[in-house]
Amino acid sequence: MNGIRRLVLQNVRPRTLCAHYSARAAPQRPKQTRLSAQSNLGPSAMSAHQVFAPLTKGCPVFKISQPITVLREPQQFYKQLIHGIKHAQRHICLSSLYIGSEETELVAELKNALARNTKLQVRVLLDCLRGTRTDSAGMSSAALLAPLVQQFGEERVQVFMYHTPALSGLSKQAWPQRYNETFGLQHIKAYIFDDDVIISGANLSRDYFTNRQDRYMRISDPQFSDYFVRLVSTIGQFSFRVLNGDQAAGYKLEMADGVADPTRDPREFVREANELMVQFLHRAEIEHAVEAGSISEHDTLAIPTVQMRQLGITQDESHMREFFELVHAFARNYKSRSLMASAYFNFSDQYKRSVLDSASRWDLLVASPQANGFYTAQGISQYIPDMYSIIEHEFAHMARARNDISIEEYMRDGWTFHGKGVWSYLNQPLPQLTMIGSPNYGYRSIYRDLEAQVTVVPGNTQLQKDIHQEALGLLAHSKIVSQDELKQRTRGSPLWLRGLKPFVMKKM
């Protein structure tokens, strides 16, 4: 089982899975970018499905027959969420970091849907630390959702709150809200309405519906949908449940009977959670395995992978390693280009090394300081964008000998950037692979948080065009930054800020 194994508590070692993206010939854009400069990638005797066939090993693989919808704007994302809630007949399943305490309209739509259809079931998976953090009015995600449990009962409404095992005992009591979230989070973003799944990196709060740019893809397939419903349900088995209770908080949290409490017995919790996830992933791999010979270049493939290193699950890590190796091997003989995006320039050391050592061309897209979510923060958090610029400059210095690696920063007036993923152009002007989901490809995506992403290998030109236009839309609001520009930006940064770099790289 690739990336799926039982946990050795004394020595949990990671693995990696896949990611791809290669070169493309871009249509004329308002400004020239390194990505759009390549127009002729050269021929290859191998199709993308052949090149990326190893990525189907050890993972569930879904052949998607219905058209996939690539959403481009936050407003489209919100409209699809509301549409899904209103039209779901069997189940609604929402997995996010949190639901904004101001999202009363979204919760009201859930309430109305439950009232209209007595057969409808709702599952919500959030992070416990983030989902119980209160705002200035004392409201939290848990308090916002608790009335649904009270009104419609636990048989129809289940609200799960995953809690990291890395924060327990006295340390849990010592760390205040917000800062305790650096130990690990439930970060998976998937929104399921019957057979429709919206895969994204966006959370459920107002800025993600208005002016915080992310990525969103709607995939319609009953088996694919069932996979994510079962994933959420499995995580729910080792998560706290939101129940009626404490009048002050508006809810209480309880673990299921027989499941270890991660805040009291983290080692036993990890053992039990690992056991449940291994069973889930093994079953999914067996039920949705495909033979390489049965895949046609006209098949659109969706390959979901998860990462839960604190629980001993390293499937996505293995998948990414395989992806980098495949792109590198291809690029040694043919022209190739890849784009990797993240909300923060905080790529893990292994991913940065994979880019630097790759024979492929690479473009890295991240938020500019002004488009960073911490840009208007108060206190020490306001220095986080400066820290990312320092890390960015150090990478640019490492890549100075390469003329085929570029860094682009997203800058759009009044907007922040939260997009992440990979686009791969091997030898065609249109992408032959994209990866979309929750990972930011940093240290905590690998080592601390629960993550999930989907690798999509398009089987038709229209989907390739849609994915390509998505990338161009993001790049239309970006500009290439040079090493000299980054050096100038970071000049004069206080030494204490540079001293915080190890903390930021592993915690943020």
Active site positions, annotated: 187, 189, 194
| Residue located via tokens 């032959």 | 432
SS3 for 286-328, per residue? HHCCCCHHHCCCCCCEEEEEEEEHHHCECHHHHHHHHHHHHHH
Q: Using CA atoms, how far apart are residues 14 and 11, in angstroms rounded to an integer?
A: 10
Residue 466: helix, strand or coil by DSSP? helix
- First-to-last CA distance in the chain? 31
- Other beta carbons within 10 angstroms of residue 137's beta carbon come to 9
Virtual CA dihedral for 465, 467, 470, 474, nearest 10 degrees?
-120
CB 19 within 8 A of CB 323: yes
| Residue located via tokens 């002729």 | 40
DSSP assignments along 314-374, one per residue: -HHHHHHHHHHHHHHHHHTTS--EEEEE-SSS-B-HHHHHHHHH-SSEEEEEEE-GGGSTT
Cα angle 246, 252, 253 (rounded to 5 degrees) comes to 160
Q: Using CA atoms, how far apart are residues 122 and 26, in angstroms rounded to an integer?
A: 42
- Secondary-structure percent of the chain, ordered helix, strand, coil, rounded to 5: 40, 20, 40
Q: How many Å is the Cα radius of gyration of the chain?
A: 22
Describe the crossing of helices 104-116 and 74-87 by its angle, rounded to 10 degrees: 20
